[in-house]
Amino acid sequence: MMTTVTHPGTAPGVNPSGEKVLIYHLRDVVKTREAEGSAFRLRVPSLQIALGEKIALIGESGCGKSTLLDMLSMTLKPSEIGSFRFRPEPGADPVDISALWQRRHLNQLGDLRRLRIGYVMQTGGLLPYLTVRENINLSRRLLDMQDDGLVDELANDLGIRRHLDKLPHMLSVGERQRVAIGRALAHRPAIVIADEPTASLDPIAAERIMSLFIELVDELHITVILASHAWRHINRLGLRHLEHHTHREADGSLTETVVSG
Amino acid sequence: MHHRFKDIVWLASRDYRNEWQMSSFFVIALAAVLGPMLILYGLKFGIVGSMLSTLIEDPRNREVRPIGSGRYDSAWIEQLREREEIDFIIPRTRAIAATIDLKSESANRIISVEMIPTGPGDPLLKTRVAPQNHQQIVLSEKAAQKLNVKPGDEINGSLSRRYKGRSERVHLTLQVADIARHASFTRDGAFTDLSLLEAAEDFRDGRAVPVLGWSGTNAETGNRTYPSFRLYTRSINDVAPISDAMGKLGIEVNTRAADIDIVRSMDRNLSLVFWLIALIGLVGFSFSLGASLWANVDRKRKELSVLRLVGFRTGEIIWFPVLQSAFTAILGWLTASLIYLGVSYTINGLFATQTEVSETICRLLPDHFLVALILTLGSAILAASLAGYRAARIEPSEGLREI
C-alpha cells in the first residue's frame, strides 16, 4: 500500500558504532508559572529521546503536557535549564538550545523549527487561503525544496489526493487533519510534535487517522512526540509512554509535575 | 531573508484575494475618499492654473506704468534696460504730441490715432513684425479695420501745427508692417519707431526735422528728455520689486499687482482648503483601515501563529498586514484615478464651449498622481504598522492548540 522511503545508515537512532543517538537530551529543565498565589511547576530531571523513537505523553489537561511540548518545540523558554541539547541527525553535533535561549537567538530557534520540526495541531491550523497542495507544500516551499514527489505520495497515502486543488474549508474536519499531518511530514523533519491531533474527531476516525500517522512516521523514520488524553488505542501503536507524576501541596499553592524518561 | 519575503508577499496576496469581498470594500472606501480629492485638486489646479497662466500670458500684467510725467533721459532708460527683471523698456514722448492723422486709398476717411513707441522685443507685438524705421508702422486692429488696410499696404500720414501764426500740415508715406492683436491695443493706435514719435514732437514744438525735410527752428543740442516710458518686467513676480524700486526713486507707478495678488492668495487659500480636506479624508481612512487591520490580526491570530510556528521570523510577520494594506492603497489609488479620469473628462466636456482651447477646467499632471500614490501608500503603511507590531508579538506556540 505504501511506498517505502529508504533511509541511509542502519537502524534509526543508532549510529554506526551501535550506540543510541539522542535527539533530545534534557537535564534539570524547569518551567514555573505563577498566577495569584498559586504556582505551577513542570520539572524535568532527566529526559532522553532517541532518534526514531515514538513517544506518547498521556494525561489529563492541565498536567503540563502542553508546557513540555512547547519547550521541546522550542517555542517556550524554560525558567531554568541544566542542559538542553538537540541533535537532529546522527552525524551532526548537538545544538545547545539552552545557549540559544540565553543569548536570545530567537531567529536561530525559528530556523531550527522550520528545518527540523513538523507540527500537527489540534484543529489543523491550515491556511484557509491556500489549496490543500499548497498547504502541504508550505514547509517545503519555505526551505526551497525541489519537488521530489513526496507531496503527491503523502496525499496518496493519506487518501486526500482528489482534494489537492481544493481550499481547506471544502474538506471535512477529518480530511483537514490528514492535510495537517501531510504538512508536518512533507519537509522530512527530524521530529514531529503532535498535540492532541485527533481530539476533534469521532473515535473511529481518530483511531484510523492515528494509525495512519504512526505508519507514515515509521516509514519516513521520523521521531514523534504525541500528546493525547485518549490512551486506549495508543497502546496498540507501540509508543513509549513518558512517565509523569503530578502532586499538589496541601494548601493548593503549588502544583508540580515531574517528567522523566 | 529575501526568499522568505517573497513567500510573505505570496501568502499575503493569497489571503487578500481569498477575502476579496472584504478587500474590495476597503478598496472602494479608499477610492471614495481619494477620487473626490483628486477631482477637487484637479479643479483647483485647472481653474486657478488657467487664471494664473492668463495672467502670465497677458503682458499688460507685467507692465509698470509711471503716473504723471517726469524727465527721463536716454542714459537713465538704458541703465534700467540692463536690469535683468526688465524685459522691455522704451521712452514715450509727450502724449499730446503723439498723435497722427492717417488716410488710406481704400477708405474715404481720415482717422486720428495714438502713436505708441515700440521696438524689437515689444511684448505687445510678440509674433508680429516690428517697425524697422520711421516709415513703418504696426496698426491696431481697430485702426486697420477703419482704414481697410492689410500688412504691406501704404498709407498717408499727416501732422499739423500752428507755427508763427499759421497752420501747417506735413505728409509722409507710411507702410503697414503688420497689424497688432486686438488685445494688445483696443483703441485706434499705431505702434511706431521711436524716431517717428520724436520727429512728430519736434515738428509740433516748431523745431526742424531735417531727415524728413520739415522746416522750423534748429534742433536743440542738449539731451532730449522724455516725460514717460513703457516698461514690462520679465514675469509677474518681478512687478512688485520693480515698482518698489521705482517708488524709491520717487516715481509713482501703476501696476496690476492687486489682480495678481488676488489670484495668488486665492491659490494659497484654495490649496489650504484642499489640504485640510485631504488631511481629514486620509486620516479618517487611515483610522478605519488601521482598525480593521488591527481586528484582522485578532481574527487571523491562529493563521499568523502557524506562520510563526513554521519558522517565519518576527520581522517577516510584520509584513503580512503591511503588505495587505499596501495592496489596498495601490488598488484604491488605481480606482480613484479611473474615477478621476472619467469625471474630469465629463467636466471638461461640459465646459468645453465656455473655455478657450488652452484652458482646462479640471486638470492634473502625472506628478500629482504620483504624489497621491505616495501619500496613500504612506498613510496605509502607517495604519498597518500597529497591526504589524501586534502580529509580530504573536507567540508561535499559540498555533499549537485552541485558545
Rounded distance between C-alpha atoms, residue B77 and residue B30, angstroms: 60
When pLDDT is averaged across residues B200-205 and rounded to a whole number, the result is 90
Which one of B255, B271, B301 terminates a domain?
B255
What's CA A230's distance to the chain center, in Å? 17
pLDDT (tens digit per residue) in B291-307: 888 888 888 888 888 88
Nearest to A177 by CA among A152, A160, A161: A160
Residues 106..135 of B with a Cβ closer than 8 Å to A: which? Answer: none
Q: Taking each helix axis as running N to C, give the angle between helix B2-18 and helix A132-142, from 0 to 180 degrees, rounded to the nearest 10.
A: 160
**Closest chain A residue by Cα to residue B316:** A107
Within chain A, strands assigned E span: 22-35, 38-50, 54-58, 80-86, 95-96, 117-120, 191-195, 223-228, 240-241, 243-248, 254-260
B13 touches chain A (CB under 8 A): no
Nearest to B94 by CA among B202, B17, B170: B202
In a domain, A92, yes or no: yes
DSSP-derived secondary structure letter, B209: B
Chain B residue numbers touching A134 (CB-CB < 8 A) = 14
Helix (H) or strand (E) holding B334: helix B319-351
**Closest chain A residue by Cα to residue B310:** A114
Which one of B223, B255, B287 terminates a domain?
B255
- HSE value, Cβ hemisphere, 13 Å, CA-based, for B150: 0
Whether residue A66 contacts residue B400, with contact meaning beta carbons closer than 8 Å, is answered with yes
Give the other-Cβ count within 10 Å of A207's Cβ: 18
Kindly state the cell numbers that stand for A167.
Answer: 481550499
**Closest chain A residue by Cα to residue B397:** A75
Are B7 and A141 an interchain contact pair (Cβ–Cβ within 8 Å)? yes
Confidence at residue A3, expressed as pLDDT on a 0 to 100 scale: 42
Chain A residue numbers touching B312 (CB-CB < 8 A) = 110, 142
Question: What are the residues facing A60 on neighbouring strands?
Answer: none
Q: Which of B6, B300, B306, B313 to mutate to test the interface with A (most CBs of A within 10 A)?
A: B306
Kindly state the cell numbers that stand for B67.
Answer: 503716473
Number of domains chain B contains: 2
Whether residue B102 contacts residue B147, with contact meaning beta carbons closer than 8 Å, is answered with yes
Same domain (yes/no): B72, B172: yes
Q: Give the 3-state secondary structure of residue B81.
A: helix
pLDDT (tens digit per residue) in A120-146: 887 768 999 999 999 999 989 988 888
Kindly state the cell numbers that stand for B113.
Answer: 490715432
Q: Which of B11, B19, B399 sits opposite A125 (nearest CB)?
A: B399
CA distance B318 to chain A (A): 14
Q: Which of A66, A75, A128 sits opposite B18 (nearest CB)?
A: A128
CA-angle at B40, arms to B39 and B44, nearest 5°? 115
Same domain (yes/no): B279, B243: no
Are B401 and A121 an interchain contact pair (Cβ–Cβ within 8 Å)? yes
What is the residue range of B375's domain? 2-56+261-400
Are B310 and A119 an interchain contact pair (Cβ–Cβ within 8 Å)? yes
In a domain, A10, yes or no: no
CA-angle at A178, arms to A76 and A159, nearest 5°? 160
CA-angle at B292, arms to B286 and B295, nearest 5°? 140
Rounded distance between C-alpha atoms, residue B355 and residue B99, angstroms: 37
Given a cut of 70, whether residue B60 has pLDDT beyond it is yes
Same domain (yes/no): B334, B300: yes
Same domain (yes/no): B155, B289: no
In a domain, A16, yes or no: no
**Closest chain A residue by Cα to residue B18:** A129
Distances (CA, A) of B244 to B60, B236, B240, B249, B252: 18, 14, 6, 9, 9
Whether residue B58 contacts residue B204, with contact meaning beta carbons closer than 8 Å, is answered with no
Confidence band for B221, pLDDT divided at 50, 70 and 90: low
What is the residue range of A61's domain? 22-260
Are A138 and B310 an interchain contact pair (Cβ–Cβ within 8 Å)? yes
Whether residue B383 contacts residue B29, with contact meaning beta carbons closer than 8 Å, is answered with no
In a domain, A8, yes or no: no
**Closest chain B residue by Cα to residue A130:** B14
CA distance B317 to chain A (A): 12
Q: How many CB pairs under 8 A join A and B?
A: 81
CATH number (domain holding residue A168): 3.40.50.300
Provide φ and ψ at A166, rounded to 5°: -95, 160
Q: Is B192 exposed, middle or buried (0-12, 13-18, 19+ CB in 10 A)?
A: buried
In a domain, A11, yes or no: no
pLDDT (tens digit per residue) in A150-208: 999 999 999 999 999 999 999 998 899 999 999 999 999 999 999 888 887 888 888 88
DSSP-derived secondary structure letter, B62: G
CA distance A211 to chain B (A): 21
Q: Is A176 exposed, middle or buried (0-12, 13-18, 19+ CB in 10 A)?
A: buried
Same domain (yes/no): B37, B88: no
Which residue matches cell numbers 473628462?
B345
Rounded distance between C-alpha atoms, residue B347 and residue B362, angstroms: 7
When pLDDT is averaged across residues B230-236 and rounded to a whole number, the result is 90
Same domain (yes/no): B323, B386: yes
Confidence at residue B220, expressed as pLDDT on a 0 to 100 scale: 66
Which one of B255, B285, B305 terminates a domain?
B255
Same domain (yes/no): B104, B188: yes
- HSE value, Cβ hemisphere, 13 Å, CA-based, for B358: 7
B301 touches chain A (CB under 8 A): no
Confidence at residue A2, expressed as pLDDT on a 0 to 100 scale: 42
Confidence band for B235, pLDDT divided at 50, 70 and 90: confident
Question: What are the residues facing A46 on neighbouring strands?
Answer: A27, A260
- HSE value, Cβ hemisphere, 13 Å, CA-based, for B73: 4
Number of domains chain A contains: 1
Chain B residue numbers touching A110 (CB-CB < 8 A) = 308, 311-313, 396
Whether residue A143 contacts residue A115, with contact meaning beta carbons closer than 8 Å, is answered with yes
Interface list for chain A against chain B, based on CB atoms closer than 8 Å: 66, 69-70, 73, 75-76, 106-107, 110-111, 113-115, 119, 121-123, 125-130, 134, 138-139, 141-142, 144, 167, 193, 195-196
In this prediction, the answer to ipTM > 0.90 reads no
Chain A residue numbers touching B13 (CB-CB < 8 A) = none
In a domain, A7, yes or no: no
In a domain, A157, yes or no: yes
Same domain (yes/no): B159, B296: no
Same domain (yes/no): B99, B37: no
When pLDDT is averaged across residues B323-347 and rounded to a whole number, the result is 94
Same domain (yes/no): B122, B248: yes
Same domain (yes/no): B314, B225: no
- Please give the share of chain B, as a percent, with pLDDT higher than 70: 96
Cβ-based neighbours of A3, under 8 Å, separated by 6 or more: A153, A157
CA distance B22 to chain A (A): 14
